[in-house]
Structure 1
Amino acid sequence: MTTASLIIIIVNIVLALILATGMTPILVWWERRVAGFIQDRTGPNRCNVGPLRLGGLIQSIADMLKLVFKEDFTSAHIKYKFFFAIAPGILFFCSFLTFAVIPFADTLVIDGKEHVMQAVPTQLGIMWFLAYAGLSTYGIILGGYASGSKFGILSSIRATAQVISYEAAMALAVISMLLTYGSINLSEIVTEQTGTIFGVIPAWGVFMQPLAALIFIVTAFAETNRTPFDIAEGESEIVAGYHTEYSAMKFGLFQVGEFAAMCAGSAIIVTLFFGGYHVPWLDTQTLKDNINIVIIVIMVLLPLKVFVLTKWMKKNNNWKDSNNIRAKETAILTKVFWLLAIAVVAILGSFLATGLGENGVNIAVTVIQIGTFLLKFLLMSLVFIWVRWTLLRFRYDQLQMLGWKVLLPLSLLNIVITATYIVVAGN
């Protein structure tokens, strides 16, 4: 194995780890801030390290540290302590492993050797995702059952009914996508989305299969047990459901697992329906042919973005406090952002001046595609957060009606329409 191959493997694994688990404090902070905005309140903004509050991000880090160092208490009435202990781990690892097959960029070629930009370069693709997404529910079922609590048992029953109801519709929506693209490999599916429809609209899955996209996104919300499909937790009815009896880091693993599932859901939705890592209207070869122009555009837009960000910070942090902490934090962050922007622009400028070479062009295109994927991923995560704080929880009967009487028939109808079109068109 060459040094380049080892570095690329490490980069893929680190990216998967960061996006699946390392994003948890940021997403918790983001969720709190978005919830505060929607509910017309401030959200967390008091916890600080010196003058730095980072808009409330320090609060999320403090909460994570609290869970790590908190005493792990297990109630005496719990009968199945082994299952009780491993349940959070099952949910966490299965949610994380769903992320392992997501392609972050097109195949990277270094010195003539191709490198797949996935943490686990398997051909199973979407089948891997469906397998581990279904298995993650066992963590919820085991956690609720092993708790020996009536709230936990009710939560397990609800989770079982929900996964049966929505896994079928999700799998059928995926079948429509497989008929459209003719492959289960996620990299090949993304490659098929590089063209255009009518010369203008990107050939993304959401435009090719809008009904399948709608069904898959709804069922992905159900898979992650987030509002409006959080009947397994149902705080107003069963306290907290499957994690009522959990404390400390076992409880923390359940929370990290939920956000890992949300991240995996966002990533697979972006990959299947929003072009994955591809920049709209710019395929990999087009990026390579115009890499100098793309880098110049980035060099112009980056300082502009920092200017807007720092102006926004000054506008929203201009109120006085006792120790003038807000002004100090704004000054520090402004300097940091500008130093980073200047450093990035200087590096990009030096690359343009000296020339990138074939390997340099390939690496630059890969970095741009990873950035594109991250932007789409974060926007989809925002949709998950937005929906949670906008819609109410479905009643149990409403949830079952939606799964069996609406989504399942629609997904079957979509398969029939897709297959008929393929046969008639001769594709």
Structure 2
Amino acid sequence: MSTTIIIIVNIALSVVLAVGLTPLWVWWERRIAGFIQDRSGPNRCSIGVIRLGGLVQAVADMLKLIFKEDFTPSHIKHKFFFTIAPAIVFLCSFLTFAVIPYADVLVIDGKAHTMQAIPNHLGIMWFLAFAGLSVYGIILGGYSSQSKYGLLGSIRASAQVISYEAAMGLSIISMIISYGSIHLTDIVNAQTGTYLGVIPMWGIFIQPLAAIIFIVCSFAETNRAPFDLAEGESEIVAGYHTEYSAMKFGLFQVGEYAAMSASSALIVTLFFGGYQIPWMDTASIQSNINYVILAIIILLPIKIFIFTKWMKKNNKRVGNDTSREKETKILTIAFWTICIAIVGLLVSFLVTGLGTNGVNIATAVIQIGAFMVKFFMMAFVYMWVRWTVLRIRYDQLQMLGWKVLIPLALLNIVITATIVVLGS
């Protein structure tokens, strides 16, 4: 029974983080863009008095795409390719998330469970395989559209993929040499401990050059600014998805956010310790579980208090409109209710004890929380860069890939291999 539950939890986490967060990403990106551009962002669409800071707008946009007419231009000859192209992009982006570990191996009743949606030993190779396949959907979509803009977008995508995929693969080779494994759980567990007693043994500190190369290539992988050349609105309208509408267009957008989620999760896993808490490995959390729970009990109400005060400050009434104040009261009550329920549950754990299985489960939940914090911070960086850095030219990306990233990645492999051989 425990095996079935854990499999369901792993799959549910993968689905939620890869696809289910799309409305949240859309809302968050609009709010970040508004903040950077010194404007309000979405704050009008509501259900009664509930606006959720503009999140309802993202949900409304999603519903609009679902119910919008799915129009296929009559001049399109390859309708099969035109139809399956968005599905290829979406499925490949979604499946890349399947091997991301959310926590260390969970042991229940003596049986070990890998915390991945699809437990396998392909690890990083699984990500590279499906990430590389997603470009076929973009190429098919632009080619089958029989539009000059779509075809130009496909050509750009083809040139882009051969510019960054090689550098991305070479940067990962350095990580594999350093960690001696392609399994992502092994890679995360290798990042425990500290360097000089202070610096966490994260990949970003062990392989800073590989981290920079991989992160730059990941931006190109997701077709997001400054590498959104395949769709470049100011140059080729929308590129490969110019002729798409309704949920076909929506699948392209969901696929982009799924790719961003997968890339963020992989960057966290390879370079920022994954689910590991700084200066505390799995054994340390398990042996000090009561202190960790006590820290959560103290910190959670403080965070809820700060957040609700921020909401109240930023949701004052506008003229005679008191809906924002009503929404703030409703959300404040909801957040404090959830907080009290969680704190009460944690206090009961401290009083009654957890047992061996309970300690292992609590450790897994804490590690999932640590992973989520890093994951959201990396996703924020993606959005921050998009609204800060200008799109580079078509030729500049290829120059960056072939003349800068690939030589640096090769140099990093040589240096890494030399250090490993001399140190063995």
Calculate the TM-score normalised by the size of structure 1: 0.99
Confirm whether residue 254 of structure 1 aligns to residue 252 of structure 2: yes
Deviation at 1:246, TM superposition (A): 0.2
RMSD: 0.6
- State the AA in 1 paired with 2:78: Y
Deviation at 1:318, TM superposition (A): 1.6
- State the AA in 2 paired with 1:250: K
Measure the CA separation in 1 of the matches of 2:269 and 2:397.
27
What's 1:165 paired with? 163
What's 2:414 paired with? 416
What's 2:321 paired with? 323
Confirm whether residue 9 of structure 1 aligns to residue 10 of structure 2: no
1:312 maps to which of 299, 310, 313: 310
Measure the CA separation in 2 of the matches of 1:318 and 1:324.
8
Residues 321 and 93 of structure 1: CA distance in aligned 2, closer, same or farther (over 3 Å): farther
What's 2:37 paired with? 39
What's 2:265 paired with? 267
Measure the CA separation in 2 of the matches of 1:68 and 1:320.
33
Give CA-to-partner distance per residue, 1:170-225, whole Å, 9 cap, x none: 00000000000000000000000011111110000000000000000000000000
What's 2:96 paired with? 98
Deviation at 1:322, TM superposition (A): 3.4
* Partner SS state of residue 197, structure 2: coil
Confirm whether residue 142 of structure 1 aligns to residue 140 of structure 2: yes
2:384 maps to which of 380, 383, 386: 386
Runs of at least 5 residues in structure 1 that lack an aligned partner in the other structure: none
Deviation at 1:321, TM superposition (A): 4.2
2:128 maps to which of 124, 127, 130: 130
Residues 140 and 321 of structure 1: CA distance in aligned 2, closer, same or farther (over 3 Å): farther
Deviation at 1:319, TM superposition (A): 3.5
What's 1:332 paired with? 330
Give CA-to-partner distance per residue, 1:121-157, whole Å, 9 cap, x none: 0000000000000001111111000000010110000
What's 2:285 paired with? 287
Measure the CA separation in 1 of the matches of 2:22 and 2:89.
15
1:114 maps to which of 112, 115, 124: 112
Measure the CA separation in 2 of the matches of 1:78 and 1:206.
47
Measure the CA separation in 2 of the matches of 1:329 and 1:66.
24
* Partner SS state of residue 389, structure 2: coil
Measure the CA separation in 2 of the matches of 1:112 and 1:190.
22
Q: How does 1:363-402 map to 2 (within 5 A)?
A: 363-402=361-400
Measure the CA separation in 1 of the matches of 2:351 and 2:194.
34
Deviation at 1:47, TM superposition (A): 0.2
- Preserved CA contact (<8 Å) 2:317 2:323: no
What's 2:341 paired with? 343
What's 1:58 paired with? 56
Give structure 1 regions of 4+ aligned residues with deviation exceeding 4 angstroms.
none
- State the AA in 1 paired with 2:203: G
- State the AA in 1 paired with 2:4: L
Measure the CA separation in 2 of the matches of 1:223 and 1:309.
34
Confirm whether residue 206 of structure 1 aligns to residue 182 of structure 2: no
What's 2:298 paired with? 300
Give CA-to-partner distance per residue, 1:14-34, whole Å, 9 cap, x none: 000000000000000000000
% identical aligned pairs: 70
Q: How does 1:75-94 map to 2 (within 5 A)?
A: 75-94=73-92
* Partner SS state of residue 109, structure 1: strand
* Partner SS state of residue 144, structure 1: helix
- State the AA in 2 paired with 1:318: K
Give CA-to-partner distance per residue, 1:228-250, whole Å, 9 cap, x none: 00000010110000000000000
Measure the CA separation in 1 of the matches of 2:21 and 2:360.
27
Runs of at least 5 residues in structure 2 that lack an aligned partner in the other structure: none
Number of residue equivalences: 424
Give CA-to-partner distance per residue, 1:89-136, whole Å, 9 cap, x none: 000000000000000000000001000000000000000000000001
1:181 maps to which of 179, 192, 206: 179
